[in-house]
Structure 1
Amino acid sequence: MDSRPAIDRVLDESREGMRRTQVGELLALVDAGALVVDTRPVEQRERDGELPGALVVDRNVLEWRLDPTSPNRLDVADDPDRVVVVVCNEGYSSSLAAESLRRLGLRNATDLEGGFQAWLSVQPGSGTSRS
């Protein structure tokens, strides 16, 4: 029997079959038409900064705003084949969110491994950027 916390098991299950996006791939995906969705709460965005080019969608309404069949969807959420990269702070809740979007039919939904903090760590002036 798996003695890990249930959330750890659920997180692993949500990532099964999902190719998670690496920070170095993000720009190329955006250039190819991917939609990057930042689900971090306003407090984290104010503290750490914005993710350039990302659409901000509160986590509590994510499914309604991105479901192509929802009458409450955003205009950009009209293609179930579009790559959607969900970004949270560290890459945990985004995995759960991406799996939820996949269940709604967004078969190319994924998340950013390491989340915003991983992206921030490679930015110039962050103190930990890689060349």
Structure 2
Amino acid sequence: MQPLKTSAAQLVAAARARIEEIETPDLIAMVDDPDVVIVDLRDPRERQRTGYIPGAFHAPRGMIEFWVDPESPYHKDVFAQEGKKYVFHCASGWRSALTVATLQDMGFAAAHLKDGFSAWEKHGGPVARDGDAA
């Protein structure tokens, strides 16, 4: 295999240099803010295994550009809300950094949870699991 021109770590570092990163305690403080939409990019199996942020919208990474684009047949209305702050997250902040950089390139304003869901749990952020009583 030929060496890559750019490593995954370099892509993440470049993305992080140009996007808004939200620290975990700051997002925990915003979790009940109706003007904040938290978007979980993780695979469904990750969510089942580790839980998820209550109220987070699940948007698997592979579809996000299409779900955000209002001209796409796959567009989701959740991404067309005026006046909302969108904060994306994954497990460790790598996928969400790349996602937010891509969305920024598309003209969609968003931020990401800097250290991901693993830091969310460590900081005592609320976690829901399928089957939790409502």
TM-score by length of 2: 0.78
Task: Work out the CA distance in 2 between the residues paired with 1:71 and 1:79.
Answer: 17
Instruction: Give the RMSD, CA atoms, in angstroms.
Output: 2.4
SS of the aligned residue for 1:95 comes to helix
Quote the residue 1:23 is aligned against. Answer: 24
Task: Work out the CA distance in 1 between the residues paired with 2:32 and 2:101.
Answer: 20
SS of the aligned residue for 2:78 comes to coil
Quote the residue 2:3 is aligned against. Answer: none
Quote the residue 2:130 is aligned against. Answer: none
The answer to whether 1:118 aligns with 2:119 is yes
Conserved 8 A contact 2:100-2:112: yes
Task: Work out the CA distance in 1 between the residues paired with 2:114 and 2:51.
Answer: 18
Per-residue CA distance 1:65-97 (angstroms, 9 max, x = gap)? 122443421112115764211110111111001
Relative contact order (alpha carbons < 8 A, sep ≥ 6): 1 or 2 greater? 2
Quote the residue 1:106 is aligned against. Answer: 108
The unaligned stretches of length 5 or more in structure 1 are 127-131
SS of the aligned residue for 1:20 comes to strand
User: Aligned residues: percent identity?
Assistant: 28
SS of the aligned residue for 2:39 comes to strand
Partner letter of residue 7 of structure 1? A
